[in-house]
Amino acid sequence: MSDWTAKRFWKEALVVADGDGFSVHLDGRQVRTPAKAPLVVPTRAFAQIIAKEWDAQVDKIDPETMPATRHANVAIDRIGLVHDDVVTMISDYGDSDLLCYRASYPEALIARQREAWDPLLAWASDVLGAHLEVHVGVMHVPQSKADLNRLRSFVDAMTPFELAAFHDLVSLSGSLVIGLAATRNAQPVEALWAISRTDETFQSEQWGKDDDAEAESAIKQKSFMDAHQFYHAVQK
């Protein structure tokens, strides 16, 4: 983006009303995306999150500490141009949803999966009108096209900014149902993340924790929490 340099050059990041949306200005200079488009977001709440990221930069700018800015860039520069392709990519998770593939053993894991995952599948059936079948093993078994199309309709209705966040909710959890539950706050976001990690938690309890795996999981969890925050922040 035109305002992106190696070092901080501005004193203050301010949110400015911009048409039907809001932009962030660095000492009066509007932030732009990598494709040079004006970075205009739909709500003041999301613009304020972005402004705080810019204000938090000390000396050298670190893009890794600016997830909201990255989400806005993706929504504007990419998703807005290929909306249908993104909808298809995300919706495809429904046909191999994490919640639908169950262990055949041990009994303790089977029970753990049933306790954690069945309520969300029941929620998808009752609230979203999509009944997904449960299967044992990892071999792919297609779901009903009618149910998948029902789930896709919710994804298709999302704006580019919502899709940018929703993509992370689904890809990080491995579940279209968990992603949709997060958008509707069907359960606390921390609980939804824990549900997505049911298998990993069980394995660590049996065999002990792996430091590298724990560190990677913590990074993914933060990204999941960020995506949940961003999704709700861009809603008018």
- Per-residue H/E/C for 133-191: CCEECCCCCCCCHHHHHHHHHHHHCCCHHHHHHHHHHHHHHCCHHHHHHHHCCCCCHHH
**One domain, residues 87 and 60:** no
Structure tokens at 99: 């919640």
User: Any idea what the CATH number is for the domain that residue 106 is in?
Assistant: 1.10.3580.10
Dihedral, 235, 21, 78, 4 alpha carbons, nearest 10: -120
Portion of the chain with pLDDT greater than 70, in percent: 97
Domains in the chain, number: 2
- State how far the Cα of 35 lies from the Cα of 188, in Å rounded to an integer: 36
Q: What is the pLDDT of residue 1?
A: 41
Nearest CA-CA partner of 49 in 225, 223, 169, 229? 229
CATH number of the domain enclosing 38: 3.30.2180.10
b/e per residue 23-40 (b: at least 16 CB within 10 A):
bbbbeeebbbbeeeeebb
Least confident residue range of 42-46, 134-138, 170-174: 134-138
Band (208; pLDDT cuts 50, 70, 90):
confident
Please choose, from the candidates 136, 160, 143, the residue with its C-alpha nearest in 3D space to the C-alpha of residue 93.
143
User: Do 221 and 116 have their domain in common?
Assistant: yes
Provide the Cα torsion 61, 57, 77, 181; round to 10°: 130
Local confidence band at 209 (pLDDT 50, 70, 90 cut-offs)? confident
pTM of the model as a whole? 0.94
pLDDT of residue 138: 87
Is 5 part of a structural domain of the chain?
A: no
The yes-or-no verdict on residue 49 having pLDDT over 70 is yes
| Residue-range definition of the domain harbouring residue 21 | 13-67
Tell whether 28 is covered by a domain.
Answer: yes
Are 161 and 44 within one domain? no
Mean pLDDT throughout 182-192?
98
What does residue 154 show for φ and ψ, rounded to 5 degrees? -70, -35
Task: Tell me the mean pLDDT in the region 40-61.
Answer: 95
- Do 135 and 225 lie in one domain? The reply is yes
**The pLDDT of residue 2:** 45
Token match 């938690």: residue? Answer: 201
The percent of the chain in helix, strand and coil, each rounded to the nearest 5, is 60, 10, 30
Helix axes of 211-233 and 67-74: crossing angle, nearest 10 degrees: 60
Whether residue 124 is found in the same domain as residue 208: yes
- How many of the other CB atoms lie within 10 Å of CB of 19? 8
